C-alpha cells in the first residue's frame, strides 16, 4: 500500500481527495489535527501503514501492525452545530460497515468473473454471520468479533465555533494474530469471512459511502435520511444489553436509535429512555456484542 495505490482507487468528489499517506506515524488523528490547524481542506484523509500510538475510546491504545490493517483519519469542516457532531461517529460506522460489504461483494464478483472455482463463499453477504454490523456507537462487528473502532475528536476555535472534526478509524483487515487480552473479542475481515481484501479497496469503498451518507446527514444535520439503513445493521437492536453508566451498570432492552443518534432502550417496567454516546458504554449481556 502506498500513496499512488490508494489514490487511484478513490473516486469521490471530496472525501479522501486530499490524501496524505505515511509509512509510519504515531497517530493519524494527531496528524489530521495538525493539518487542520494548517488549513487543510475538508475531506483530507491521512492513512498510515504503521501506527504506533493510536487511540481508542476512553483512552485505550490502538496499534496498527504494518501490512495487515488500516489506520486512517478523515478531517472534515462541518457547518453543523456542535451538539450534532457526535452523530458523525455513527455516520462513519455505517459507512465502514457498508464499505466493507461493498469490498466483499466486489471481491466475490471479481473472483466469479475469473474462474468457475469460487473461493469466496457465494452467500457471504446474505448470511447474517458475515454481515457487517454496528455495535452502537463506535464499533463494527462481523460474526460477533470487533473488527473496527472509531474515535471522533472535535476541535473548536477561540470563539466557540467549530474549527474541524477528525474521525479516526482502525480496521482489522488481514490480521490473523491478536494480543492475549483482546483475542476473545477481536477479529479481522480475513478471520471472520475467510476473504483477504486489498486495503486500498476497503479505504476507497468506505470513503465513497461516507461521502454519500454525510451529504444525507447535511440536509438537516440529523440521521432522518439514514435511520433505516443504520438500524438494519444495529447489532444491539431488540437485545438485552448491559449499560455501563458511570453511576452504575444496569440491564435494558435496546430498540434502535432516534434521529439524533441516541440509543433508545427500555427498563424492566417497559419505560423507554435515551442514552447518548460519550456518556455510557453498551455491552451484550452475555458477551462483547
Selected residue with higher pLDDT from 122 and 202:
202
Tell me the C-alpha distance between 152 and 219, whole Å.
21
CA angle 67, 70, 76 (to 5 degrees): 145
Is the per-residue pLDDT at 278 higher than 70? no
Give Cβ neighbours of residue 135 (< 8 Å, ≥ 6 apart): 141, 146, 235, 236, 282, 288, 289
Is the per-residue pLDDT at 118 higher than 50? no
pLDDT tens per residue across span 74-91: 999 999 999 999 999 999
Q: What is the pTM of this model?
A: 0.90
Amino acid 123: pLDDT? 47
Selected residue with higher pLDDT from 213 and 247:
213
Is the per-residue pLDDT at 256 higher than 90? yes
Burial class (CB in 10 A: 0-12, 13-18, 19+), 203: buried
Structural domains of the chain, with CATH: 3-230 (3.30.930.10), 236-284 (2.30.30.100)
How confident is the prediction for the chain on average, in pLDDT? 88
Percentage of the chain beyond pLDDT 90 is: 68
Selected residue with higher pLDDT from 281 and 132:
132
Helical packing angle, 87-114 and 199-220, nearest 10°: 140
pLDDT tens per residue across span 214-254: 999 999 999 999 999 999 999 989 989 888 777 878 889 99
What is the distance, to the nearest Å, from the Cα of residue 93 to the centroid of all Cα atoms in its chain? 3
Selected residue with higher pLDDT from 99 and 267:
99
pLDDT tens per residue across span 28-64: 999 999 999 999 999 999 999 998 876 655 555 555 6
Amino acid 247: pLDDT? 80
Q: What is the DSSP string of 57-70?
A: GGG-EEEE-TTT-E
Amino acid 128: pLDDT? 46
The whole-number average pLDDT for the span 81-107 is 95
Q: Are strands 19-25 and 44-55 parallel, antiparallel or unpaired?
A: parallel
Going by the DSSP 8-state scheme, the letter that residue 41 receives in this structure is P
Amino acid at each position: 500500500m502506498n500513496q499512488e495505490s490508494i489514490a487511484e482507487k478513490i473516486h469521490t468528489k471530496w472525501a479522501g481527495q486530499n490524501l496524505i499517506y505515511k509509512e509510519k506515524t504515531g497517530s493519524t488523528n494527531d496528524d489530521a489535527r495538525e493539518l487542520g490547524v494548517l488549513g487543510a481542506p475538508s475531506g483530507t484523509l491521512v492513512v498510515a501503514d504503521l501506527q504506533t500510538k493510536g487511540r481508542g475510546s476512553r483512552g485505550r491504545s490502538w496499534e496498527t501492525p504494518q501490512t495487515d490493517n488500516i489506520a486512517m483519519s478523515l478531517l472534515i469542516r462541518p457547518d453543523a452545530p456542535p451538539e450534532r457532531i457526535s452523530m458523525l461517529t455513527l455516520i462513519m460506522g455505517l459507512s465502514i460497515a457498508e464499505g466493507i460489504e461493498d469490498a466483499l461483494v466486489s471481491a466475490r464478483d471479481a473472483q466469479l468473473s475469473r474462474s468457475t472455482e469460487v473461493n469466496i463463499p457465494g452467500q457471504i453477504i446474505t448470511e447474517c454471520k458475515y454481515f457487517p454490523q454496528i455495535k452502537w456507537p463506535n464499533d463494527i462487528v462481523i460474526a460477533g468479533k470487533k473488527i473496527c473502532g472509531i474515535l471522533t475528536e472535535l476541535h473548536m476555535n477561540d470563539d466557540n465555533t467549530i474549527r474541524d472534526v477528525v474521525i479516526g478509524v482502525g480496521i482489522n483487515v488481514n490480521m490473523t494474530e491478536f494480543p492475549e487480552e483482546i483475542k476473545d473479542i477481536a477479529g479481522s475481515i480475513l478471520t471472520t469471512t475467510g476473504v483477504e481484501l486489498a486495503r486500498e479497496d476497503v479505504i476507497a469503498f468506505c470513503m465513497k459511502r461516507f461521502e454519500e451518507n454525510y451529504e444525507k446527514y447535511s440536509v438537516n444535520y440529523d440521521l432522518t435520511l439514514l435511520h433505516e439503513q443504520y438500524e438494519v445493521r444495529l447489532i444491539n437492536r431488540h437485545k438485552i444489553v448491559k449499560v455501563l453508566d458511570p453511576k452504575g451498570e444496569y440491564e435494558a432492552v435496546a430498540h434502535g436509535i432516534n434521529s439524533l443518534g441516541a440509543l433508545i432502550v427500555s427498563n424492566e417496567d417497559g419505560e423507554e429512555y435515551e442514552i447518548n454516546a460519550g456518556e455510557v458504554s453498551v455491552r451484550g449481556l452475555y458477551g462483547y456484542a
